Amino acid sequence: MRFRKATKYGGCAWLMFVLLFCSSAAKAQGPAPETAPPLFPGGGLISYNSIFTTRGTMPGTSRGIPATARPTFSHEGDFNFTWGFRHDFDLTVLVPVITNHFETPGIPTAAGTGLGDTMVLVKYRFYRRDSPRGTTQASFTLGPKIPTGRTNLNDETGARLPASLQPGSGSTDLFLAANWTYTGLFNLRRLVADEEFHSLLRSQGTQQTRLGDDFELRFWLSYRPYESKNVTREWFIGPTLTWLRSQDDRIARVTQNGSGGDVLLAGITTYVGVRPGMHLWLATDWDVAHSSGASFMPIRRHISFGITQQFRLHF
């Protein structure tokens, strides 16, 4: 649940906004339109997020699917439970179900579905300042990604698919995030600047593979064209800018040069409150620029939609 009051801090907050924007943006829309506030104390939230990702193709080889291949198309269904266990803190458990497809000329299509790796995350809001203009809030999140995902998908010949095409990684990784939200931008109460930086720091997992660390920076500038008096119904919409960076994979401790790279995505996100505690969202992003590593497969299109239901826990 968001906190609606907001800040003065015009100069300082604006400077912070400029500095963050200059360093860029990135993440699919999640259960709430503002990423910095935690869930209200004693509150609960369940959500489902459906994410479709399309990547550029990768040249095949006579030896089959390259060891660093990423899915040319994937669907991830995220089941999210969040609990606001005390003021300024919440706990999230996220369980994904992932379907991966890999297609390239000259090689049979590889596909499969399985449980992904579970994340257990704690968010702490360390800063909030209110004023008649809006609210400035900042938080950080951290937690492990636990290797609960499937790692035994095979191709049509029965050969094990590369680690990069498996729903799970087989590795225990660390998720870190920092979030900043500023309502009342340019002294407009309904204009919101929201930024998230997050990274996934990986260890070695299945098939002696250490997938490259991921870094994302996402900026969303949203406006509320509609807001009911009791705030049970509202509509956010606005542009997003996302920068993604993936480092090179390592297989048997050998760096696979050119397997990582950078992508800049631009898109639009809309978020609607349809009744008390229930929200829907839709986000689309397209590739506007990317690096050209020898085996890098940049994201070309990203679509996300989901539903959230908030409630109050009675313990």
Which amino acid is it at 119? M
pLDDT in tens, 233-286: 899 999 999 999 999 999 999 999 999 999 999 999 999 999 888 999 999 999
CA distance 118 to 306: 18
CB 287 within 8 A of CB 263: yes
The structure's pTM equals 0.87
Which distant-in-sequence residues (6+ apart) come within 8 Å of 247 by Cβ?
Answer: 212, 213, 214, 260
User: Which residue ranges make up each domain of the chain?
Assistant: 10-309
Task: State the Rg of the chain over Cα.
Answer: 20
Q: Tokens 């309904």 correspond to what residue?
A: 190
CA distance 173 to 117: 10
Asked if the model's pLDDT at residue 17 lies above 90, the reply is no
What are the CA-CA distances from residue 72 to residues 8, 88, 101 (Å)?
Answer: 46, 40, 6
pLDDT in tens, 20-44: 333 333 345 678 889 999 999 999 9
Assign domain 10-309 to a CATH class.
mainly beta
